[in-house]
Structure 1
C-alpha cells in the first residue's frame, strides 16, 4: 500500500500490523505492481518516473516525464510485465483547467509510449482475467472506460463500461470473480459495485471519502480519509483501512 504523503510503501497485515517496504526520499509513491520476476514497480508521482525495487535497491525503470502531462498516478501491470500508468493531466491542486491526460504503456524493458491521450484523469485500472480488456476509471468524468487489449499492448474499441451514479467519481477500483467492479468514490463517501452497463449491485456507505479498494480472500479493503488535500493529509494523518465482507473473490489484475 502506498502512503503517498509519508513517502512510504507499506505492507499491512489483516491484524493492522505494518512494515515499511520502501521509503522514498524525495517523491510520493502511488500505483504499485509486480514484474513476473517479483520486482516491485512503484509510480513516483512528482518526478513522473516508474521505479523498480528488487528487494534491496531502487532503480529507475522508466522516465515518463516527457510523456505525462501531469503528476503520475495509478497503474496496473499485466502478466507479461507491461505497466499502464495514468496521470492527472493538469495541475489539480492549483486550480488549473481540466484537460485530458495520457495513458502510458511501459514495456518490461522500460521503454514507454502513449497508448491513449483522450482520458480524463485516468486513475484506478484493471485487466480482466482473460487479458483481453483493460478498464480504467476516468475519475473526473465519473465513468469506467473499457478498451480491447491486443498482443502488442495497444488499446482499441473504446467504450463506456459503466457510468457511476450522479455525484460519484471512481478513484481506486478492483475487479471481482462475479464480473463486477468496485469503485471507491471520495465525493459520495461510499464504495459501489457495478456490472457492465452500469447497474449497481452493492453499495457500502462510509463516514469518510473512499479513495482505494482491493479484495483479499473474502474481504473488501477500503482506504478512507476525511480529505485528499496534501497539506491537510500531512497534518491530520487520519486515513485508515476499513474492512467489509466481499460477495466475490478478486479476479484479473491487479
Structure 2
C-alpha cells in the first residue's frame, strides 16, 4: 500500500528560462538558468541576483569544492570550470577525451571527490543523447570513467556517510545506486527504486527517502528505497530538479518550466519558476 499525499506548492520566483541544478548554498538557492548563461541565487522570498555569467548556454551545472570555490560543468564544451577567488573561471578538468556527448550533472561528495555524468558515445540518428557515463575527478585532477551504459544520466546524490551514490536514469524509469569505494570508484550497481515516471534532478532527506523531479508528469515525488511513494507535489509545468534547503533544510525547492521539446529549449520563452513546499524531513548528504 502506498502512503501517497498530494501537496500544493508556493511560487517563489518566476521569469526564468529553464532552471536546473538547484543547490542550497550560503543561505540562498542557486540555480542554473539554462538558455541565458546565468547562474542566479534567490532567497526564500524570491529576491534574486545574477551571481555569474558562464561561457555556456546549456547544459551546465554547479557544485562547490570543499574550500568553497564554485565548480561549473560546461556540458557541450566538455570542461569542468572552477571559479577562483578573484572571480575568474579556469579549467579544473578537461573531459573532452572521455565523451562525444554533452555532460550534464555534478555532485561533490564529503571527501572532495567530484562526480560528473552525461557524456558517453555519440547519440544515434534522431536521438539527443547516447548511453551515459559517470566520471570521477579526484583531488589531484585526474579524471576517469567509473560507470557507463546509463539510460540518460540525470540527477545524482551521495549519502551522508559517503558510501552510496544514487543516480536518476531518466530513460530507465529508475533510481540506481552504486557503492562508493575508498578511492571513489563505483561498484555493486543496483536498482534503488523502479519508478512510474522519468526522474530528473534528485535530493536526499534524513529519513532515507529521495525526492525526484519529473518533467513529463509535472510533479516531484518522494520515494523510499524499493519505490514506495510517500508524497507528491504536482504543479502545472514540467519539474526539472528539486533541492532541500531553507534555514533548517526542510523546504523543498522545485525548478519547473513549460516543456516544448529539446529543439525549443533555447528561445525567448520565460516560463521557468522556482516553487517551494515544506518537507517532512530535512535534506542530508550531497549536494
Give the deviation of 1:31 after TM superposition.
Answer: 2.2
Give the deviation of 1:26 after TM superposition.
Answer: 4.5
Q: Note closer, same or farther for the CA distance 1:9–1:109 as it changes in structure 2 (3 Å cut).
A: farther
Pick the aligned partner of 2:95 from 64, 74, 80: 64
Q: Note closer, same or farther for the CA distance 1:50–1:230 as it changes in structure 2 (3 Å cut).
A: farther
Distance 2:47 2:267 in 1: 21
List runs of 5+ in structure 1 lacking aligned partners.
Answer: none
The answer on 1:229 being equivalent to 2:258 is no
- Residue in structure 2 matched with residue 101 of structure 1 by the alignment: 132
The answer on 1:139 being equivalent to 2:170 is yes
RMSD, aligned CA: 1.9
Give the deviation of 1:107 after TM superposition.
Answer: 1.2
Distance 1:61 1:87 in 2: 18
TM-score under structure 1 length normalisation = 0.93
Pick the aligned partner of 1:244 from 239, 261, 277: 277
Q: Note closer, same or farther for the CA distance 1:97–1:251 as it changes in structure 2 (3 Å cut).
A: closer
Alignment: residue pair count: 252
- Residue in structure 2 matched with residue 5 of structure 1 by the alignment: 35
> What secondary structure sits across from 2:221 in the alignment?
strand
- Structure with larger RCO (C-alpha < 8 A, sep 6+): 2
- Residue in structure 1 matched with residue 5 of structure 2 by the alignment: none
Pick the aligned partner of 2:237 from 204, 208, 211: 208
The answer on 1:23 being equivalent to 2:46 is no
- Give the conservation status (yes or no) of the 8 Å contact 1:27–1:47: no
TM-score under structure 2 length normalisation = 0.83
> What secondary structure sits across from 1:66 in the alignment?
helix
- Residue in structure 1 matched with residue 115 of structure 2 by the alignment: 84
Q: Note closer, same or farther for the CA distance 1:197–1:232 as it changes in structure 2 (3 Å cut).
A: closer
List runs of 5+ in structure 2 lacking aligned partners.
Answer: 1-30
Distance 1:188 1:92 in 2: 25
- Give the conservation status (yes or no) of the 8 Å contact 2:220–2:232: yes
